[in-house]
Amino acid sequence: MQTDDWLNQLPPPDPDGAERVRARLQASRQAPRRRWPLALAATGAVAAVAAAALLTLRETPRTEALDAVQSVHVAWSADVQLDYQGVGVAEGTPADLVVQWQEGIVRAEVAPNQGNRVQVRTTEAVVTVVGTVFAVERSPLGTTTWVDRGQVHVRCADGTEHDVTPDADAVTCLPVRPGALLGRADALIARDAELDIVLDTLARGLDAAVPGSSTEGELLARRLEQEARGGDAASAQGTATAYVAGGHTLRLDTVARTAARLATQDARCDEAAAWLARLDAPPLDDRLGLARCWTDRGDLERAEALLRSARGAGEPLPESWLRWLDAVEAP
Amino acid sequence: MRRTTPSLSLFVDAIEGGDRELDALAAAWLPHVYAWCHRLGGPALDPEDAAHEVMLIMCRSLHKVHAPEVFGTWLFATTRGTLANHRRKAWFRKWLPGPVRDRPTTAWSPLRTAEAAQAADQVWDALATLPEAQREALVLCVLEERSSREVAELLGVPQGTVKSRLRLGRRAFRDALVAQGLDVDVLLEEVG
């Protein structure tokens, strides 16, 4: 509800404003209506000149860079209006426009039955329209199309096709490249999206990723985080193993620690020890978790050896563990 | 402040009756129209001029509305069109020689603090970056606290479309605030 709180910062309508308008309205209704023959004639002349100019320009191709942080309005032609906020390129003739859209939102209003064709193209989608009002948003989540009036045809890069109408929900074409799918996964995670949706995106990314590539490594690391978040220790273990098998090292520290923690939670102490052994200097917290795992399993000797080693190195062991060591070592 | 749609019978009475019934219909709808002009027109337009024009159109063209159920939708569409005309005029006026009109100030209470005025300016700017459909959904659903069914009737679109616009509008609005360099969460705490 944060956006709503901000909206409520707007000043309310002037409480006396409506009353003033009412007084003006009554005065206007009592006054005789004015005629504007001259103005009408002038308007007609201007319209005729504009129509002639439009016919001349109708087939002239042109290219226009679209790049705006704030919303900008562009009258591409008399029949095609664009509002955009983001980055792209518009090219074509007044009657046949192609917008190559990279990022942000572009909204097009196309007069129906005038023979105009407008296409918005992104990496994920081609949106084709003849006479409607529609908008396309490209973000890390993909390319989303929604329609205010009329109908548009959306062809997604994954081969699916959709007809979007005002009655239907917006259609989102998902990214297809592994790097873009990684970006979508990060955007979903930042928005606290449902776990299944995040995992589905990561799975698509891994299907498309080149084995051994850094993108695959990043996707596997994200999947491990999410599986751990969902408490799916078995899948997480498989993902961590795949990470190591793929020769990835960039996030080995995090991967090994996460895998070790999950293993200790399931009393798989040997697996946890193997994961920690991959690290040059496993953190004390993780080693204490392993010691707890061993003591719970009754393997006191290994726990004792681990704790002695830490104490010998002058590491700050908690008081409870120091007492435990003293008790074990007492004759 | 929550707004509720006036009774349909006012429209029926105005169609069948005389000036007094038309006045009653105008009186019932004028606060709504004025609020729409104020919130959708933004600080660059004079809401009184726009509302006055909408109500004049209503009085002159009431007979064109074929059913009472669609009167609200028709009036909102008329307001939208009138605001678009006023925006064009405001743009055109900038290029004409002559005295520059002051920014209308009727909506700004003299009692408001400078901080509140600054926050409002930022919200106006952020709201202005939104597509019209999303801006309308935010104003009608959030500021006027209308139900999505009521807004769907006013806009003449399905309820799902209203919800979709509202969701996208909230996100775009938040992004617009952030694009202005605002730390949205922190400032919310300060404002709160």
Residues 6 or more apart in contact with residue B91 via CB below 8 angstroms: none
Of B128, B143, B161, the CB nearest to A71: B128
Beta-carbon separation of A25 and B39 below 8 A: no
| Most A-contacting residue of B54, B139, B143, B174 (CB-CB within 10 A), to test interface | B143
**pLDDT digit string, tens, across residues B127-179:** 888 888 899 999 999 888 888 888 988 888 888 889 889 999 988 988 888 88
Beta-carbon separation of B123 and A6 below 8 A: yes
Q: How confident is the model at residue B115 (pLDDT cuts 50, 70, 90)?
A: low
Beta-carbon separation of A4 and B39 below 8 A: no
Cα–Cα distance, A129 to A237 (Å, whole number): 48
Q: Which residue has the tokens 């979903």?
A: A188
Low-confidence ranges of chain A (pLDDT < 50): 1
Share of chain B above pLDDT 70, in %: 79
Model pLDDT, residue B110:
45
* 3-state per-residue secondary structure call for A146-214: EEEECCEEEEECCCCEEEECCCCCCEEECCCCHHHHHHHHHHHHHCCCCHHHHHHHHHHHHHHCCCCCH
Cα–Cα distance, B54 to B30 (Å, whole number): 9
Examine the pLDDT at B190 and tell me if it is beyond 50: no
Beta-carbon separation of A105 and B131 below 8 A: yes
Q: Write the single-letter amino acid at B83.
A: L
Q: How confident is the model at residue B97 (pLDDT cuts 50, 70, 90)?
A: very low
Of A4, A20, A70, the CB nearest to B142: A4
Mean of pLDDT over chain B: 78
Cα–Cα distance, A290 to B93 (Å, whole number): 76
Cα–Cα distance, B87 to B73 (Å, whole number): 21
ipTM of the complex: 0.77
CA distance B100 to chain A (A): 23
**pLDDT digit string, tens, across residues A234-264:** 999 999 999 999 999 999 999 999 999 999 9
Cβ neighbour number for residue A148 with a 10 Å cutoff: 18
Residue A107 forms contact with B (CB below 8 Å) = yes
Residue A167 forms contact with B (CB below 8 Å) = yes
Integer angstrom CA distances of residue A107 from A110, B82, B134:
10, 21, 12
The reported pTM is 0.47
Cβ neighbour number for residue A43 with a 10 Å cutoff: 11
Model pLDDT, residue B52:
92
Of B158, B173, B184, the CB nearest to A167: B158
A–B interface: beta-carbon pairs under 8 A: 127
Residue A4 forms contact with B (CB below 8 Å) = yes
Of B60 and A289, which is predicted with more confidence? Answer: A289
For A136, the token pair is 């396309």
Examine the pLDDT at B101 and tell me if it is beyond 50: no
